[in-house]
Chain A
Amino acid sequence: MLDFLQMVVSGIAVGSSYALMGLAMVIIYKTSEVPNFAQGEMALISVFFAFMLLSHYGIPSYIAFPSTLAFAAILGFFLEFTVLRRAKNPNVLGMIVITIGLEMILLGLVSWKFGADHKDMPFPISPYESFAIGKMFVSTLEVLTLCVALVMMVTLFLFFRFSKLGMAVKATQQNRSAARLMGIRTNRIMMFTWGMSSVVGCVAGLLLTPVSMDPFMMWDPMLKGFASAVLGGMTSLPGAVFGAYMLGIIENLFGGYVSIEFKSVVAFVIIVLVLCVKPSGLFARHYVKKV
């Protein structure tokens, strides 16, 4: 029983980082229908920016982390403005290819600059600190991840529910041309959503750095985040969060009870099974296409 609880707890912690990546993907997919494969590498380059500030220039972390978030936002604006907006007659395949191309460019830049070897991030919290709740051990980092993820989710919820800008984003998501007619600058909204999702992804990346940091660190979280977004329906923010926690917990239980070797592929098996039953994910309304 204790083992089970321990696995569920660490599953929730892993799920939190998947949830952040999934949220980042959903935010972009909802407005521009682009499945953003570059999400992980956008986070990666921001994370290495933080690494550079902290260890090369010795900037204290209370300045370095906010400026990393600002960098992530600017990166998102920049990519949308220079690349995605220029795409002629975009279709899904074209968008996938463009984002994969961006991903490779960013990955190449980071690993050209920093080499492929493992880095030690001077993060304020060590991954080995932990404390006990009853008989369970929970690491401080896991708690921090969970808290930050929850704070981000609540912030996003409040933002979309109550702020004027959030309403404008939602309007753009529902009907772009109508939103435009209502006086919303949809182009600017698109740019803004890319910046926002880049920041969310960057937070996820920063929380992963104490465990492992190298140019390929974001592959797995990105794919899992994407998988959980797909599981939740790709257009629903709560769906992505639910999918992420489900994947995190199932993955850990599978790793603990069945086989540790196939732990990382079980997510995709679940995805395929779920998609066979509900082709648009668990939470999205089924998309009906007109000819």
Chain B
Amino acid sequence: MDMKRDYYEDVKLFTSGVGFFWFLVLMVFLAAYPFLVKNYYVYVANYIAINIIVVIGLNILVGYTGQISLGHAGFFAIGAYGTLILMTKLSFPFLLALPVSALIASVFGFLLGLPALRLEGPYLSIATLGFGLTITRVIGKIEFFGGRQGLHAPELVIGPWHLNTDRDFYYLLMVITVLMTVGARNLIKTRVGRAFVAIRDADIAAETMGVNLVFYKTLAFAVSAFYTGIAGGLFAFVLRFIEPELFSLFMSIMFLAMVVVGGLGSIMGSIAGACLLGWLDLQLRNILSLPYIGSWLESLSKSYFSLTGVSNIQFILFGLIMVLIMLFEPLGIFGIWIRTKKYWKTWPF
């Protein structure tokens, strides 16, 4: 049943009616979600959706093309600042400002891709890391970008609609997220996606087979930066206030952690990783108010650690997740899912 007989069967979005049914269920659930939960959880969903877009973009670069990036917070910042600056200073409408700033991000991605043509491993990681740090430093020092004070998001108006609350913004965000996800999935299934995978597996072999390395490597960086830029622009409206300190190295690390935890080279894994770590990130910010664990952690901190540093438990937890996933399940959540599926398919045997 998994055998593909022709090309169109491989690129088809839904392989069976069952898949299409579950897709419809998901869509209905997403549409009904804001009416089912409290306001805070709508905010959580928005936050996670942003992460999903970034992680899919980063996965195209890391999981599919096999390049390393520790500088995606830089693209994220470009997207966020670009959108706000275009809207407030040049009075662009939102729906134009968002893609334009994402295009600016992808130009930067292209530029970063140029040195990346000759670099790999630690060399590439330090180059991208330096890029991310430099972008935030530059933005923080220039008054035009609001400097250290940061920027406030203007009111969001699309045509006749004023999107003031998280609920209103949720629908816009979900439409964009679903479109971006389907877009990434389609990109991977085409000639471009196959070229990316070929570069990941063996770039020299890919080049001898006729894959243009210069074009496809820079394209991977540009596409990834475009996704991240879109997410950054949306992120500015989820938080409604941005400042340079937000886009730290820690943010880049979190994105990479989400990719790795979800599963390298898998769109579904990216979604799972972004959901899990994004949710944990929000939950662990006020760790002492968690049920059951909170009071225990409080007494533990009082007797052995310090109470002021208790929020740093989230670093420990994220670090542990990254290390354990890499040691025991290098394919992440997606790998676990594949193994469970295989196990139940042939169950009694």
Contacts and interface: CB of A to CB of B under 8 A. Distances in A.
Interface of A: 29, 35, 83, 86-89, 92-94, 96-98, 100-109, 111-117, 215, 219, 223, 226-227, 230, 234, 261-262, 264-265, 267-269, 271-272, 275-276, 279-281, 289, 291
A104 B316 contact: yes
> Dominant SS at the A interface?
helix
Given A101-B319, A291-B205, A268 B312 contact: no
B130 A269 contact: yes
B346 to A, nearest CB: 24
Contact of B319 (A93, A103, A230): A103
A83 B126 CA distance: 23
B212 to A, nearest CB: 17
B253 A100 contact: yes
B115 A275 contact: yes
Contact of B127 (A87, A88, A271): A271
Given A272-B130, A272-B131, A279 B119 contact: yes
A92 B123 contact: no
Given A102-B319, A272-B115, A281 B123 contact: yes
Given A262-B141, A268-B130, A275-B123, A111 B256 contact: no
Contacts of B17: none
Nearest to B250: A104
Contacts of A104: 253, 315-316, 318-319, 322
B122 interface: yes
B308 interface: yes
B301 to A, nearest CB: 7
11 contacts: A96-B68, A97-B257, A98-B326, A101-B326, A108-B315, A112-B306, A113-B304, A223-B133, A269-B130, A271-B126, A271-B130
Contacts of B202: 291
Contact of B137 (A111, A219, A264): A264
A219 B141 CA distance: 20
A89 to B, nearest CB: 7
A25 B23 CA distance: 48
Nearest to B141: A261
Given A92-B122, A105-B319, 20 more contacts: A29-B122, A35-B121, A93-B66, A94-B330, A98-B323, A101-B318, A106-B319, A108-B314, A112-B306, A116-B312, A230-B123, A262-B137, A265-B137, A268-B126, A268-B129, A272-B127, A272-B131, A275-B123, A276-B115, A291-B204
Contacts of A289: 204
Interface in B112-144: 114-115, 118-123, 125-127, 129-131, 133-134, 137-138, 141
A25 B310 CA distance: 30
B250 to A, nearest CB: 9
A112 B309 contact: yes
Interface in B315-341: 315-323, 326-327, 330
Interface of B: 62, 66, 68, 114-115, 118-123, 125-127, 129-131, 133-134, 137-138, 141, 202, 204-205, 208, 249, 253, 256-257, 260, 264, 301, 304-306, 308-310, 312-323, 326-327, 330
B327 to A, nearest CB: 5
Contacts of A112: 301, 305-306, 309-310, 312-313, 316
Name, among A88, A89, A281, the residue most crowded by chain B CB atoms within 10 Å (CB to CB).
A88
Contacts of A94: 326, 330
A223 B134 CA distance: 13
Contacts of A262: 137-138, 141
A77 B225 CA distance: 39
A258 B204 CA distance: 42
B326 A87 contact: yes
A83 B327 contact: yes
Shortest Cβ-Cβ A-B pairs, 3 listed: A268-B130, A108-B315, A101-B322
A111 B62 contact: no
B256 A97 contact: yes
Contacts of A83: 323, 327
A268 B134 contact: yes
Given A107-B312, A115-B308, A267 B120 contact: no
Contacts of B315: 104-105, 107-108, 111
Nearest to A113: B305
B315 to A, nearest CB: 3
A45 B141 CA distance: 32
Contact of A105 (B126, B137, B320): B320
A100 B125 CA distance: 12
Contacts of A89: 330
A51 B160 CA distance: 62
Contacts of B310: 112
A226 B121 CA distance: 13
A239 B17 CA distance: 61
Nearest to A261: B141
A223 B316 contact: no
Nearest to A233: B123
B207 to A, nearest CB: 10
B323 A101 contact: yes
A14 to B, nearest CB: 18
